[in-house]
Homo-oligomer: A and B are copies of this chain.
Amino acid sequence: MKIIVDGMGGDEAPLHIVDGAVLAAKEFQDKNEPHQIVLTGPKEKILRRVHHCHGDALLGKYLEIVHTDEWIEMHESPVSALTKKTKSSMHLGMEMVKRGEADAFVSMGNTGAVMAVALMRLGRIEGVARPTIGAFFPSMNGRTLILDIGTNVDCKPNHLLQFALMGSVYVHAMYNIENPKVGLLSIGEEENKGDDLTVKSNELFREKKLFDFAGNVEGRDILNGTADVVICDGFVGNVVLKFGESVAGFLKSRFRSVAQKNFKYKLMMLLAKPALVGVFKDMDYQEYGGVPLLGVNGVVIIGHGSSSPKALNKAIHVAKEMVEKKINEVIREKIILS
């Protein structure tokens, strides 16, 4: 299998990206697995870093570099990504997947740009109205996949239905959950509670019976783990995601200010630090490596811009698994039947 990694996507690119790719390539070598990582981006820069992390021996069989002069910056607009820089590390990588020269594409880059370029180069799976990106939240039972988290706003019930279908297929295949429970995010459990979109979507979900619909769930159910997949409009999903991401930082600052109050507290916090780190670890979205662009006609995994090499390595494994489990083929079949 050949997995492309956008060598210039991410806040610390190419450093963390190359480090992560080398990590993954080494694992393939150690296990004697016939997979190859292809880094797209400025060859010189990337090679220098490969050398720096002693990855030279991997070049050729486990690691390859495809040179590009251009790359898309983290905060560039999707429109600019589409119209300018059409030879970027992102474009080139997607193009290789499109031509069948590679099996998957992984980027820690600009989410909006990845989605835009994927839509342009790879297109949608037949019948999918709007591809979607989700995020994993930690929960009492493990994790909850929230879809959509910002790619799609002003959704229609049919969009939410397709998000639910694709999310259910993904969680089933990747986490071996027999019938993933799908919840519709609303402001009351009763089916008539919510805004116009959720009331109509609830009706459609119940009518279509395409997945195990657990009914409406509320904001508290995300962390409580009431459902495996939680469906919402991308506006709501993005607000909750960003709120959730800010919780760890907020608590750390609280811990610090409590610790400063007196020496006894300071000592207690110092003593408790290793345990506290354990608590926050699960709140760290990097643990999941990356999430797929569901509905795109090709395997594309997107991760957080601030991903560590370890997170990129995980994302590469997510991509590999998604190819092996033929998740896009399953989605294609289910969408046709829906």
Contact = CB atoms under 8 A, between A and B. Distances in A.
A298 interface: no
A194 B221 CA distance: 25
Given A235-B195, A278-B261, A245 B220 contact: yes
In this complex, the member of A185, A239, A254 whose beta carbon has the largest number of chain B beta carbons within 10 angstroms is A239
Interface string A224-261: 10000000111110111111111101110111001101
A243 B221 CA distance: 8
Interface string A192-207: 0011101000000000
Contacts of A233: 195
Contact of A224 (B238, B246, B259, B268): B246
Contact of A272 (B140, B238, B269, B278): B269
A81 B150 CA distance: 38
A275 interface: yes
Nearest to A238: B187
Given A258-B278, A275-B259, A239 B242 contact: no
Nearest to A152: B195
A164 B255 CA distance: 32
Contact of A187 (B150, B194, B232): B150
In this complex, the member of A185, A241, A250, A274 whose beta carbon has the largest number of chain B beta carbons within 10 angstroms is A250
A224 B250 contact: yes
A271 interface: yes
A154 interface: yes
Contacts of A275: 255, 258-259, 265, 268-269, 272
Interface of A: 138-140, 150, 153-154, 185-187, 194-196, 198, 218-224, 232-236, 238-247, 249-251, 253-255, 258-259, 261, 265, 268-269, 271-272, 274-276, 278-279, 282
Considering the complex of A and B, which 6 residue pairs feature the smallest CB-CB distances, nearest first?
A: A219-B242, A272-B272, A219-B243, A220-B246, A153-B195, A187-B238
